[in-house]
Chain A
Amino acid sequence: TVGCVALDKAGNLAAGTSTGGMTNKKYGRVGDAPIIGAGTYCNNQTAGVSCTGWGEFYIRNVVAKTISDLMEYKGLSLAEASKIAIDKVDKMGGNGGLIALDKQGNMTMPFNTEGMYRGAITADGKIEVSIYK
């Protein structure tokens, strides 16, 4: 799975996710990536989110929208809301990670696996890329 969240010069956020799913899957199984609110969500008032991981858990926890809701209704920061959401996935037995970016340019990339291919770029063009924990 791959994903991206971007913030443009006008201050607008967008989020996207794309995936090939699970090896050896049957019956037209679909994971969280294309489910708005589960694997992908974006709201200028809160954050853009793209998830990767065991889709069934992200669907049942409506992870991406939950992060936005925690920020909107409880006033949590992006990092706090994202940690709560990923911890809940972990507690239920799921795994994976997510990337999120808010309108102020704060970002977070939590995951509970050994690694996650990830990267970010600052407003002045500085690139950070990481793979391992």
Chain B
Amino acid sequence: KKYVMVIHGGAGTILKKNMSAEKEAAYIAVLTQALQAGYAEIKAGKTSLDAVEATIRVLENDPHFNAGKGAVFTHDGRNELDAAIMDGKTLMAGAVAGVTTIKNPISAARAVMEKSEHVMLVGAGADLFAKEVGLEIVDPKYFWTKERWEGLQKAIKEDSTKAVLDHGSKKSELFGVKNLDYKFG
């Protein structure tokens, strides 16, 4: 088989016994929608960069995944988003980290690659850059979801000093990172 696109929506403690049929169907539906969005770009003769951006925007706009709308919360109750993109033809790359107001960070990463002389921008500067190049800016409240907020409260209650991995395991705990044995994104 010749593949033209692969995607992931995060790895972790994902067990069938813990997944409702409705939730499983929702995940499959969004992953399928994301693949279709990227494939439509490729089929239309657009670039692989266009396909990657279109695909990831679908996943960022869906609250099931830990990116964009579904981002988890920091200890301070904020959503800090990171993204990167790279072009295999030119080896150009762009990234943003710790942004809080950009609706689709993958588009900001691409803008850094194509519209700045830099590779990575962080924090408030990256948010400002995204605004200046015309990307969609949202109130940080846009990223608030009940499930993620409750996840933060649970994490703080269990041990306020430890960050929680999407990907925890017993082994993780040996390294000082809390494993709550479920997945946040």
Q: Hey, which bits of chain A sit against chain B, CB under 8 A?
A: 1-10, 12-26, 28-31, 33-36, 39-44, 48, 50, 52-54, 93, 95-101, 103-107, 109, 111, 113-123, 125-127, 129, 131-132
Contacts and interface: CB of A to CB of B under 8 A. Distances in A.
Size range of the chain B interface in the assembly: 35 or more
A117 B9 contact: yes
Main secondary structure on A side of the interface with B: strand
A6 B76 CA distance: 36
Contacts of B50: 8
Contacts of A17: 56, 83-85
A5 to B, nearest CB: 5
Given A106-B3, A115-B15, A8 B47 contact: yes
B51 A14 contact: yes
A8 B38 CA distance: 10
Interface string B75-113: 110011111111111010101111000000110011000
B133 interface: no
Contacts of B177: 54
Contact of B59 (A18, A42, A116, A122): A18
Given A36-B84, A40-B84, A115 B2 contact: no
Interface of B: 1-16, 19, 24, 27-28, 31-32, 34-36, 38-39, 41-43, 45-53, 55-56, 59-60, 65-68, 70-76, 79-89, 91, 93, 95-98, 105-106, 109-110, 119-120, 122-123, 143, 148, 151-152, 155-156, 160, 162-169, 171-172, 174-175, 177-178, 184-185
19 contacts: A4-B6, A6-B51, A7-B48, A15-B85, A21-B81, A23-B72, A23-B151, A26-B74, A30-B97, A35-B84, A42-B87, A44-B89, A52-B10, A52-B166, A93-B171, A115-B15, A118-B9, A119-B6, A121-B38
B155 A24 contact: yes
B167 A25 contact: no
Contacts of B4: 6-8, 105, 121-123
A105 B144 CA distance: 38
A52 B65 CA distance: 12
Contacts of B66: 1-2, 19-21
Contacts of A20: 66-68, 70-72, 79-82, 143, 148, 185
A17 B59 CA distance: 11
By CB atoms of chain A within 10 A, which of B8, B72, B172 has the most? B8
